[in-house]
Structures are given as C-alpha cells and as structure tokens.
Amino acid sequence: MTTFASGLDNPEGLDVGPDGNLYVVEHVPSGRLYRYLLGGGRETIGRATDGEGLRVLDDGSVVVAETSVGRLSRFAPDGTKTTLAEGLNAPDGVAYDRQRQRLLVTEEQHRGACSRSTSIQARSPPSRPGSTSRKRC
C-alpha cells in the first residue's frame, strides 16, 4: 500500500485532476483544500467552510461542496474562489453527469428526512452562476 496524503484534519472529499495530482478537502476545523503533487509535496489551494465532496473540472479548477453554509464553490487553479450556487441544503457530494456537462450535487435534509440532487452547468465558469434545477423530496 502507498500513502499519498497524510497529516490531514478530517478529510472528506478527494479526486484526481486531469494533471494527475490528488486533490483533498478537509471538513472541519481547518477546511483547507490541498493539491498533492505527483512528484511529491503538497500545495494549499484555499479554504472551504466545512468542505465535503469535491470534483476537479477539466480546466483544473476544483468545485467543493461547503456543507454548513449551503454553498458550492469553485477554486481556480490559482486559488481564486467564486460561488457557483448558494442556498443549498447541506450539500455533500459533487459528481459529473455522463456527458460531463452538468455537475450533480447531493443535498441532505436535516435529520435524515430525505436527500435530493441539484445540478448546475459544469462549464467553467458556468454561463449563469447559481442557476440550478432541483429534484424535490
């Protein structure tokens, strides 16, 4: 077994980017987003509030579900953070659809009542930031 990342504080999401590097976000308390380099080493990209799920887009930007603040954020490769969607209910997972055109975000209702998914355009940046379609519980 090979260890790629260690010394993390409650890691919740990870993905491998098109550059082959490993991306990891910590949940709490620090919420750092890291890039682990193929040649060794770790870079801090930014900070997320209660980061959970993440997905690395084709352009190298990273989308992170920030659970407690109900937000989906995009971190550009240089670390610039923008909001893609907000007002979500505890988003915790991020995935592509089959065509890699839309991001699917799982949201949880508190107390486990139900889960739902939200989708947004995966283009970077999306044509209308924050535009979503939802499946109701």
Task: Annotate 36-55 with b (16+ C-beta within 10 A) or e (fewer).
Answer: beeeeebeebbbbebbbbbb
Closest CA to 63 of 129, 137, 116, 7: 129
Half-sphere exposure of 5 (CA within 13 A, CB side): 23
Query: What's the pLDDT tens digit per position in 90-125?
Result: 888 888 888 878 888 888 765 454 455 566 665 544
Query: What's the pLDDT tens digit per position in 35-49?
Result: 999 888 999 999 999
Q: Which domains does the chain have, with CATH numbers?
A: 11-134 (2.120.10.30)
Query: What's the pLDDT tens digit per position in 44-98?
Result: 999 999 998 899 999 999 999 999 899 999 999 999 999 998 988 888 888 888 8
